[in-house]
Amino acid sequence: MISLRLIFLAFIISFSAIAQKDYKLWLQYDKTTNAALASEYKNQLQGIVSLGNSETSKISLKELETGLFNMLENKPEVFPEIKGENKIIVGSKSSLTSEIQKAVGSDFDKINEEGFIIKSISLKNKKHILITAKNDIGVLYGVYNFLRLLQTNKSIQNLNIIEAPKTNIRILNHWDNLDRTVERGYAGFSLWNWQKLPDFIDQRYIDYARANASVGINGTVLTNVNANALILTPQYLEKVEALANVFRPYGIKVYLTARFSAPIEIGGLKTADPKDVDVANWWKNKAAEIYKRIPDFGGFLVKANSEGQPGPQNYGRDHVDGANMLADAVAPFGGVIMWRAFVYSEHDVNDRAKQAYAEFQPYDGKFKDNVIVQVKNGAIDFQPREPFHPLFGAMPKTPLMMEFQITQEYLGFSTHLVYLPKLYQEVLESDTYQKGKGSLVAKVVDGTLDQHKLTGIAGVSNIGNDLNWTGHPFAQANWYGFGRLAWDPYLDSETIADEWLRCTFSNNENFIKPIKEMMMQSREAVVNYMTPLGLHHIMDTGHHYGPGPWVSNLSRPEWNPVYYHKADKNGIGFDRSKTGTNATAQYASEVEKIFDNPATCPEKDLLWFHHVSWDYKLKNGQTLWNGMALKYQEGVDQVKEMQNIWNRTKPYVDAERFKEVEMLLNIQYKESKWWRDACLLYFQQFSGKELPKGVEKPNETLEYFKSLKFPFAPGN
Amino acid sequence: MISLRLIFLAFIISFSAIAQKDYKLWLQYDKTTNAALASEYKNQLQGIVSLGNSETSKISLKELETGLFNMLENKPEVFPEIKGENKIIVGSKSSLTSEIQKAVGSDFDKINEEGFIIKSISLKNKKHILITAKNDIGVLYGVYNFLRLLQTNKSIQNLNIIEAPKTNIRILNHWDNLDRTVERGYAGFSLWNWQKLPDFIDQRYIDYARANASVGINGTVLTNVNANALILTPQYLEKVEALANVFRPYGIKVYLTARFSAPIEIGGLKTADPKDVDVANWWKNKAAEIYKRIPDFGGFLVKANSEGQPGPQNYGRDHVDGANMLADAVAPFGGVIMWRAFVYSEHDVNDRAKQAYAEFQPYDGKFKDNVIVQVKNGAIDFQPREPFHPLFGAMPKTPLMMEFQITQEYLGFSTHLVYLPKLYQEVLESDTYQKGKGSLVAKVVDGTLDQHKLTGIAGVSNIGNDLNWTGHPFAQANWYGFGRLAWDPYLDSETIADEWLRCTFSNNENFIKPIKEMMMQSREAVVNYMTPLGLHHIMDTGHHYGPGPWVSNLSRPEWNPVYYHKADKNGIGFDRSKTGTNATAQYASEVEKIFDNPATCPEKDLLWFHHVSWDYKLKNGQTLWNGMALKYQEGVDQVKEMQNIWNRTKPYVDAERFKEVEMLLNIQYKESKWWRDACLLYFQQFSGKELPKGVEKPNETLEYFKSLKFPFAPGN
């Protein structure tokens, strides 16, 4: 009988899970199970006083009602004005009575247009909690922040939270094509159902906006950087407008990618030369047309003269010419141009890692005010680990924004659990030394290093139409964490993991503690089993799924993994020191010195900067070969340990998500062994050495691994 | 205050709706709100006695528990044996005590291997309800049927239901590609996430199986008829096996499409000639390989020598050679070959409508026993209306199965509300007269006309990874209704609509009555605004989205809409009578006579069979031109009326689905006008006549309509 009961309960739980938990992201608003806390919350939240009337205000109110209803299980009463005590008062500055404004004092001076204040105040000797801001969107951010206090079981007594985002543009880049395929998408297909737009508003658009607003994301680029000009035609702009209308009250601006050759493709012009008057006018008119539909349109993201995309260089012009021409088009409407520095050319025999710096650094100070240059976190391409991009700090007269990848193109797609905020943090807290010690990448990004007002962080989205949005339940944490770091690039990734786990799963410490640890380790695990010690870009080509260090037959040298690891019988690694390509010289001298010398170069970046012999002695005394092999093994062991940890948390997780993660970790474990075995067998050809003790022997041959083909791997 | 409350409630409802209602299909198991009924149910259902132990038995039990728990809001107790009274006893024949078997009497003789019995019985003077069957899968079908009684608020007193499916193969055809695009798919992308299979079992696979089992669907062809041979490689078969394992306990067999040239593409042979011994052996070995993994593998569906697909004719062989060779490969394992009769050739100058009959009818009696020929409902291709296919009844010595299309390739994609069981019923109850009056298509399909044991109905799936499965909430009814008619081809489509509405939305008569009427009218509406009076295949080409009667530039004549309507200044329509292509001669003489004469030909099929003048007098006295124009207008008016009806049901539907359908009906209304205006403007060029009174004037020009392009229309 007992077993039947258990089956039954599991089923009920699992049904509700599929329908709700996976979809609800970090906005579960689970019931507060700590009785003392629940009672504290109820005492202090005896109703809502809602002072605004805008669409955004209505959303703030609904969210508060929904959150409190679900967490405290009673409907909060809503009042149009303050009565009694222990109310939560919600409204922007202009809606507040002078008495309340007085209670806030000078706090408004401490926040920007998107900041908020959450404050315990006393009015006529009655205690209340106030959520306010200069604007309604700030109030909404405050509401989400306040709800998060409850979600994470924090006290709400004596509140005095004054917060404002440290960057202006906190934006998702969707590499979504018009046919709904998603380049590097591993969570199904594009959310944007262009066929049914503009007349059908999918509830997911609303829930997407809600999730983004809850972490402070305020922009979205709807389309792939490998752009299609059709998005700029009236047929599609009507659809974009419909999405912009949905997103607006959530504080989210819509941006598009601009295909540089659009004036030819949809404009009927013979050229897209940025110096051509007709071309410039075409873009001006196009901008006017867009802004007529979408007055708060954000602007354009542009990938030009990179990987075959058209650009100003097709006409003998340069990036500055291209960017500034577009900047002029959107400037009258307050738009910005996000111009990507991710460029490399098959005609440039230089180390690919050097090309973006070489091409862009000389342009410093030449871009118009409303241009921001978008730089990937590293100089290659979203690897499990890269040293920070040398452009950070190197263009003091130019606003630079960060481009992180949230989707796991090179990190196991959506089957590997990798907590990316750890990676983001590592980059953001890197010291560029460009203005001496403490010139952190974060300070470049938030504009404080060089006093820039236009700032931003972009994340290449991992969102698709999978029921759980991101393919892997834990990949939701990467979306969440990206948003939180875009808001405040100085946040600690562990704190973010803690928040996310509590909001998404449970406040039970027996769950939180081990799982947080598992998340924090997960990034190092993927580095270990894929690309330890500074190895990079040895994934199979095209789809980037699984190992392919042997690939050497692609037309462009820098598309081949052998270009990056340069393994031979003498050793392995890419010499970017002054004995090699001298890429290290692109860093500030303090950093250059460290990277340039194998003895001082951090071992995690060793093979990124140096070609060293198989017998090179690592700091722990091991030879490079042995150390590398043991790192691969360590990665596998870490995944095994992640499985162990997860299995122990079964009592604390709903059956559905438990099972999902369990299955995914099984895949990750299998694939970590695939990585280890394929890479070690391949590199062993050059090292000619045995695997050290402690490294498991491969069960398959190198030929087997080389024979694996994945013609329909997603995202390609 | 009231308005705030309403907003709040709407939000709560809408949140739960998106998360649950849309996804839960017809298995909502809403609370029984009729108090008298609820009390009757509770009295008679005081616990479950579950007698089986198989996976399927466990599913039966879970489903009963979930259904009763949700509808009656208390947990039913589960007993391993009978105690007390008013229990629901669930188990297959072999699990029943002799006393219970006696109570069932000879009812087991009335059902087949998949049938079931639901019976009020008395044991030791205690009343119980028994759900039994010869096999566990029959029990599961019985459980779903029983739950449906509660869902539709039927009495459960004195039950004596003895039911068995009338066809063997009740199967979905997924035109799903390995890259997850779906040919003619309008509900997102393929459910099958090949990348994550076999190790990740998406909960949707389970819920898909559950939904299918609940309506008696017992087979699924996972892959597109335009097949890719890779599905037959070990890499993919491992994934297919994982799906088969999920579906098996739900009584669902997995089938695959066989690319005829697979022996070349993945087998390394130089030919795919069905008379070649190596080829035949390759298929035999391949079948053995598949059956080793999947002992109950259903067999292959084959599209050969049609629309460019490879087939036996490439080697000078014929369909019989091809089908029988494959039949030999699967016969030892009990597999079947479903060989499609949908063929037409660009080298055949014959009327396309005649080609399938011309090619296949002479093969009657030549196929092996385990071959069934799959015939589309009409001779062209899933049009809003077609006369029944002349092959039905014309191959008495050959099992023929029906191929319906559930996805709305030619019927407005997933934005038009069209209730298709009305169309299916029209076809199934058509009289072929092949064995005299009463030789219904349904009797061909269920095998009773010519005493065939191998029978089946296939439906081209409308299922995708949209949250609501089918893109349009009402398209769920087409999946449901297909399953019900596959089980029993004599069911009335109105009864099915009634069932579906009650299970999916509400038992409230104020909702049921008008919405059922709306559904029943919806099919005639789409015929009216797209292709009235027998017009067909005048959709825009390729994607088939919207009108394109003007298209005349495609390489194959029969791909052009002008081929089908043949409008000129003398009139319109395709003369298939004896003065024309004589396609009518393919029908039994009684039918031929009716179709051949415009005076006796049903007006709904007039232009299918006849080219008539613009002044031709219709039965209502109108000229053809005026009558046609008024039909187009009538279609538009019907959609308007559907909108009115829907809007009145707001109080009875959750906010989320109400809004969804409201938005979709808006699109349908817009597009019905597009159809009317574009077609009438185009045909007016030939008729040279004014639009009759009562037909709205177009707001756009013909040139405008011709200029519309949809490069990313889905499903193409």
**Ordered DSSP codes for A143-194:** HHHHHHHHHTT---SS-EEEE--S-SEEEEE--B-TTS-BTT--SSS-S--T
> What mean pLDDT comes out for the span A610-636?
98
Please report whether residue B545 resides in a domain: yes
What mean pLDDT value characterizes chain B?
96
| Percent of chain B scoring above 90 in pLDDT | 94
Q: Dihedral (C-alpha) B669, B670, B676, B681: value to the nearest 10 degrees?
A: 170
Number of domains forming the structure of chain B: 3
DSSP B377-423: SBSSSS-SS-PBPTTTTT-TTS-EEEEEE-S-TTTTTTTS---THHH
Chains A, B: CB contacts within 8 A come to 136
Contact B192, B219 (CB under 8 A): no
In which residue are the tokens 């003077």 written? B125
In which residue are the tokens 């009818």 written? B361
Nearest-neighbour CA in chain B from A642: distance (Å): 17
Nearest-neighbour CA in chain A from B294: distance (Å): 22
Q: Does residue B181 share a domain with residue B78?
A: no
Q: Does residue A539 share a domain with residue A497?
A: no
Q: Do B230 and A711 touch (CB under 8 A)?
A: yes
- Whether the bond between A198 and the residue before it is cis, its omega within 30 degrees of 0, is yes
DSSP A609-660: H--EETTPBPTTS-BHHHHHHHHHHHHHHHHHHHHHHHHHTGGGS-HHHHHH
| Percent of chain A scoring above 90 in pLDDT | 94
Please report whether residue B597 resides in a domain: no
Nearest-neighbour CA in chain B from A249: distance (Å): 16
Please report whether residue B582 resides in a domain: no
Please report whether residue A633 resides in a domain: yes
Nearest-neighbour CA in chain B from A9: distance (Å): 10
Instruction: Indicate which residues of A carry an active-site annotation.
Output: 307, 381, 409
pLDDT at A237 over 50: yes
Q: Does residue B405 share a domain with residue B265?
A: yes
Please report whether residue A322 resides in a domain: yes
Select which of B276, B307, B348, B696 is catalytic: B307
- The upper half-sphere exposure of residue B638, i.e. CA atoms within 13 Å in the direction of its Cβ, equals 25
Among B56, B63, B197, B199, the strongest candidate for a mutation testing the A interface, having the largest count of A CBs within 10 A, is: B199
- Return d(Cα A48, Cα A44) in angstroms, integer: 11
Q: Do B19 and A14 touch (CB under 8 A)?
A: no
Domain end: A128, A148, A163, which one?
A163
Segments forming the whole domain that contains residue B132: 31-163
Q: Does residue B353 share a domain with residue B250?
A: yes
Total-model pTM: 0.96
Residue A348: count other Cβ atoms within 10 Å of its Cβ. Answer: 14
* A12-69 residue pLDDT tens: 433 443 457 999 999 999 999 999 999 999 999 999 999 999 999 999 999 999 999 9
Show the beta-strand stretches assigned E in A450-518: 456-460
Provide, as residue numbers in chain B, all residues whose Cβ is less than 8 Å from the Cβ of A667: 196, 199-200
The CATH number that applies at residue B40 is: 3.30.379.10
* B515-548 residue pLDDT tens: 999 999 999 999 999 999 999 999 999 999 999 9
Position with higher pLDDT, B352 vs A348: B352
pLDDT at B178 over 70: yes
Q: SS3 for A568?
A: strand
Q: Do A413 and B12 touch (CB under 8 A)?
A: no
Paired tokens of A515: 């799982």
Q: Does residue A490 share a domain with residue A622?
A: no
pLDDT at A614 over 70: yes
Residue A662: closest C-alpha in chain B: B200
| Percent of chain B scoring above 70 in pLDDT | 97
User: Which pLDDT value is given to residue A345?
Assistant: 81
Contact B669, B525 (CB under 8 A): no
Q: Do B18 and A50 touch (CB under 8 A)?
A: no
Provide, as residue numbers in chain B, all residues whose Cβ is less than 8 Å from the Cβ of A50: 4
The CATH number that applies at residue A422 is: 3.20.20.80
Q: SS3 for B283?
A: helix
Q: Do B413 and A664 touch (CB under 8 A)?
A: no
Q: Would residue B381 show up in a list of annotated catalytic residues for this protein?
A: yes
**3-class SS shares of chain B: helix, strand, coil, % to 5:** 45, 10, 45
Burial class (CB in 10 A: 0-12, 13-18, 19+), B369: exposed
Provide, as residue numbers in chain B, all residues whose Cβ is less than 8 Å from the Cβ of A656: 203
Q: Does residue A125 share a domain with residue A181?
A: no
Q: Do B714 and A178 touch (CB under 8 A)?
A: no
Nearest-by-Cβ selection for B4 from A24, A78, A199: A78
Paired tokens of A46: 């005896």
User: Alpha helix (H) ranges present in A216-254?
Assistant: 234-247
Amino acid sitting at position B620: N
Tell which phi-psi region holds residue A219, choosing left (phi > 0), alpha (psi between -120 and 50) or beta.
beta
DSSP B94-153: GGS-HHHHHHHGGGGGGS-TT-EEEEEEEETTEEEEEEE-SSHHHHHHHHHHHHHHHHTT
pLDDT at B4 over 50: no
What mean pLDDT value characterizes chain A?
96
Tell me phi and psi for residue A692, to 5 degrees: -70, 165
Assign A660 a pLDDT band (cuts: 50, 70, 90).
very high
Provide, as residue numbers in chain B, all residues whose Cβ is less than 8 Å from the Cβ of A186: 195
Q: Do A199 and B413 touch (CB under 8 A)?
A: no
pLDDT at B477 over 70: yes
User: Which pLDDT value is given to residue A349?
Assistant: 83
Q: SS3 for A339?
A: strand
> What mean pLDDT comes out for the span A651-678?
97
- Return d(Cα B656, Cα B10) in angstroms, integer: 9
pLDDT at B19 over 60: no
- Return d(Cα B469, Cα A572) in angstroms, integer: 51
**CA distances, B387 to each of A20, B457, B474, B601 (Å):** 45, 18, 25, 11
Q: Do B189 and A188 touch (CB under 8 A)?
A: yes
DSSP B676-687: HHHHHHHHHHHH
Q: For residue B692, what is the DSSP state?
A: P
Return all residues near A579 (Cβ < 8 A) that are at least 6 apart: none
Residue A663: closest C-alpha in chain B: B200
So what's the ipTM on this one?
0.95
Nearest-neighbour CA in chain B from A200: distance (Å): 6
Radius of gyration of chain A (CA): 26
Q: Does residue B179 share a domain with residue B151?
A: no
Q: Do B66 and A24 touch (CB under 8 A)?
A: no
Q: Does residue B550 share a domain with residue B498?
A: no
Q: Does residue B178 share a domain with residue B248?
A: yes
Nearest-by-Cβ selection for B8 from A18, A65, A204: A65
Tell me phi and psi for residue B197, to 5 degrees: -75, 155
User: Alpha helix (H) ranges present in B406-508?
Assistant: 421-428, 441-445, 476-487, 493-504
Query: Which H, E and C letters describe B175-196, residue by residue?
Result: CECCCCCECCCCCCCCCCCCCC
Beta-strand pair A253-257/A219-221: parallel
- Return d(Cα B645, Cα B518) in angstroms, integer: 7
* B366-392 residue pLDDT tens: 999 999 999 999 999 999 999 999 999
**CA distances, B599 to each of A380, A394, B565, B617 (Å):** 76, 86, 19, 10
> What mean pLDDT comes out for the span A173-199?
98
User: Which pLDDT value is given to residue A4?
Assistant: 39
Position with higher pLDDT, B587 vs A348: B587
The residues facing A440 across adjacent strands are A431
| Measured distance between the N- and C-terminal CA atoms of chain B, rounded to whole angstroms | 50
Domain end: B504, B520, B543, which one?
B504
Return all residues near B41 (Cβ < 8 A) that are at least 6 apart: B32, B71, B72, B150, B156
Nearest-neighbour CA in chain B from A20: distance (Å): 5
Nearest-neighbour CA in chain A from B420: distance (Å): 21
Please report whether residue A589 resides in a domain: no
Contact B184, B177 (CB under 8 A): no
Choose among B559, B555, B539, B556: nearest CA to B547.
Answer: B539
**CA distances, B73 to each of B32, B33, B38, B653 (Å):** 9, 11, 10, 21
> What mean pLDDT comes out for the span A603-620?
98
Please report whether residue A596 resides in a domain: no
Q: Taken in order A338, A254, A139, A332, is the CA torsion positive or negative?
A: positive
User: Which pLDDT value is given to residue A558?
Assistant: 87
Q: Would residue B179 show up in a list of annotated catalytic residues for this protein?
A: no
Choose among A576, A122, A138, A194: nearest CA to A357.
Answer: A576
Q: Do B199 and A75 touch (CB under 8 A)?
A: no
Q: Dihedral (C-alpha) A470, A473, A474, A477: value to the nearest 10 degrees?
A: 60
Provide, as residue numbers in chain A, all residues whose Cβ is less than 8 Å from the Cβ of B19: 19-20, 23-24
Provide, as residue numbers in chain B, all residues whose Cβ is less than 8 Å from the Cβ of A5: 78
Q: Does residue A128 share a domain with residue A73?
A: yes
Nearest-neighbour CA in chain B from A498: distance (Å): 26
**CA distances, B361 to each of B373, B585, B586 (Å):** 11, 13, 10
Nearest-by-Cβ selection for B200 from A66, A203, A667: A667
Nearest-by-Cβ selection for B415 from A19, A196, A656: A196
Residue B8: closest C-alpha in chain A: A62
The CATH number that applies at residue A544 is: 3.90.1330.10
Contact A528, A635 (CB under 8 A): yes
Q: Do B20 and A23 touch (CB under 8 A)?
A: no
Q: Do A203 and B656 touch (CB under 8 A)?
A: yes
Please report whether residue A538 resides in a domain: yes
Q: Does residue B454 share a domain with residue B568?
A: no
Choose among A416, A415, A389: nearest CA to A400.
Answer: A389
* B152-162 residue pLDDT tens: 999 999 999 99
- Return d(Cα A145, Cα B183) in angstroms, integer: 45
Choose among A375, A404, A385: nearest CA to A171.
Answer: A404
Amino acid sitting at position B640: K
Select which of B22, B163, B409, B637 is catalytic: B409
Provide, as residue numbers in chain B, all residues whose Cβ is less than 8 Å from the Cβ of A467: 203-204, 465, 467
* A486-526 residue pLDDT tens: 999 999 999 999 999 999 999 999 999 999 999 999 999 99
Q: Do A230 and B711 touch (CB under 8 A)?
A: yes
Q: Does residue A234 share a domain with residue A203?
A: yes
Assign A74 a pLDDT band (cuts: 50, 70, 90).
confident
Type and span of the H or E element at B161: strand B160-163
Domain end: A115, A130, A163, which one?
A163
Q: Do B714 and A180 touch (CB under 8 A)?
A: yes
Choose among A602, A601, A603: nearest CA to A578.
Answer: A601
Residue B205: closest C-alpha in chain A: A18
Q: What per-residue string of b and e applies to A285-299 under the rule 16 or more CB within 10 Å gives b?
A: ebbeebbeebeebbb
